[in-house]
Amino acid sequence: MNVAEAIRTKRAIRRFAATPLPEAVLERILRAGRRAQSSKNTQPWQFILVRDAERLRALARLGPYADHLAGAPAAIILITPDPKQRWSILFDAGQAAAYMQLAAWEEGVGSCLATIYALDEARDLLGFPPDWVAHVGLSLGYPAEAAELSRAPRSGGRKSTDDLFHNEQWGQKA
């Protein structure tokens, strides 16, 4: 895979084909998360793979923008220690998620994050212990429309380089 191309073209996919994801594909995606870097190599995460349609529908009700979980053939829910303990916990989880999303992209699998708001309900649904929390899940599936996987970035889809980059000091441009 061309990493630069993956970074440039990967789009959030929220509509999926019903085709199940092969076991080996899911395993490679999960393993990419396992490889992610983390602060002091603490690896503050557990990954719960969910394929049961009813459980996915229940998860989709746990956040106002989580509905895409309901239509996905699979999801990986990222479980972390309470991020109030250390600022880096969610930073680390974000990297594991990004690695999994790039690995998915290489497999032709679309993905989108879903923020979970109902934290206690998520714990009940997935059965993880009280010192862990699920702030985010990742929908996974072949896109309903194949071309969507790397559709052209919307114009204005990202802030301009001028709005983002500074040279040596804040406000200085190259």
Compute the distance between CA of residue 162 and CA of residue 164 in angstroms, rounded to an integer.
5
Q: Does position 7 bind ligand FMN by CB under 6 A?
A: no
Sole binder of ligand FMN in the list 32, 60, 62, 66 (CB under 6 A): 66
Cβ closer to ligand FMN: 67 or 123? Answer: 67
Running DSSP on this structure, what letter comes out for residue 39? G
Cβ closer to ligand FMN: 10 or 21? Answer: 10
For residues 49 and 74, is the Cβ–Cβ distance under 8 A?
Answer: yes
Q: Does position 72 bind ligand FMN by CB under 6 A?
A: no
**In terms of Cα–Cα distance, which of 107, 120, 89, 117 is closest to 149?**
107
Helix count (H) and strand count (E) of the chain? Answer: 6, 4
Q: How far is CA 92 from CA 14, 34, 46, in A?
A: 24, 11, 12
Cβ closer to ligand FMN: 12 or 18? Answer: 12
Cβ closer to ligand FMN: 4 or 24? Answer: 4
Cβ closer to ligand FMN: 22 or 117? Answer: 117
Q: Does position 70 bind ligand FMN by CB under 6 A?
A: no
Compute the distance between CA of residue 108 and CA of residue 87 in angstroms, rounded to an integer.
33
Count of residues in contact with ligand FMN, rule CB under 6 A: 13
Q: Does position 138 bind ligand FMN by CB under 6 A?
A: no
Question: Site map for ligand FMN, 84-123, x if CB under 6 A?
Answer: ----------------------------xxxx--------
Strands (DSSP E) contained in the chain are 46-50, 74-81, 110-115, 132-141
Compute the distance between CA of residue 90 and CA of residue 75 in angstroms, rounded to an integer.
18
Q: Does position 12 bind ligand FMN by CB under 6 A?
A: yes
Residue numbers at the binding site for ligand FMN (CB under 6 A): 11-12, 14, 63, 65-66, 68, 112-115, 136, 157
